[in-house]
Amino acid sequence: MTTHFYSEQEVPKKWFVIDANGKILGRVAKKAAEIIMGKNKPEFTPNADMGDFVIITNAAKVKLSGNKELSKIYYRHSGYVGGLKKTPAFRQRKKDASRMIYKAVWGMVKNGSLARKQMTKLRIFNQADHKHEAQQPMQVTTL
């Protein structure tokens, strides 16, 4: 008996909503990464984009455990010599809280061209409302 490897067209895509209000950042990111990679499906194939779409709401209300609100640093680089920019988590939350979740999910997917394609299926909103009601997303309750 041979193993059947599914193609991307064989598996239908679904939409999921994760409410990050009061949830820990790492747990929200882990669940989102699992869904966009397709690891929650029995048809998972590591070299194909099997994942579903994920909508994360209330990104501004996500929690950081321990003392990370003050000690966690987000880095970015301009590309020029000495162009390293450091932003603490509390300042990043004020500036753009959705970036915190994006960077956490990006760190959990396998990097490469497939990961860049999978990350396009992630939608993050700082408020509770989103514009994807027409897709009839299912609520994710277990984190």
Over the range 81-115, which residues count as b (16 or more CB within 10 Å of their CB) and which as e? Answer: eeeeeebebeebbeeebbbbbbebbbebbeeeebb
Which is more confident, 5 or 1?
A: 5
Predicted structure pTM score: 0.92
Tens-digit pLDDT profile for residues 37-58: 999 999 999 899 999 999 999 9
State the CATH architecture for 15-63+95-139.
Answer: Alpha-Beta Complex (3.90)
What residue spans define the domains of the chain? 15-63+95-139
Residues 6 or more apart in contact with residue 63 via CB below 8 angstroms:
22, 23, 24, 25
Q: What is the mean pLDDT of the chain?
A: 94
- Residue 116: partners with Cβ closer than 8 Å, 6 or more residues away: none
Cα gap 138→43, rounded to integer Å: 19
Round to whole Å and give the CA distance between 139 and 136. Answer: 10
Q: pLDDT tens digit string along 61-117? A: 999 999 999 999 999 999 999 999 999 999 999 999 999 999 999 999 998 999 999
Say if strands 84-88 and 73-77 run parallel, antiparallel, or are unpaired.
antiparallel
Percent of the chain whose pLDDT exceeds 90? 88
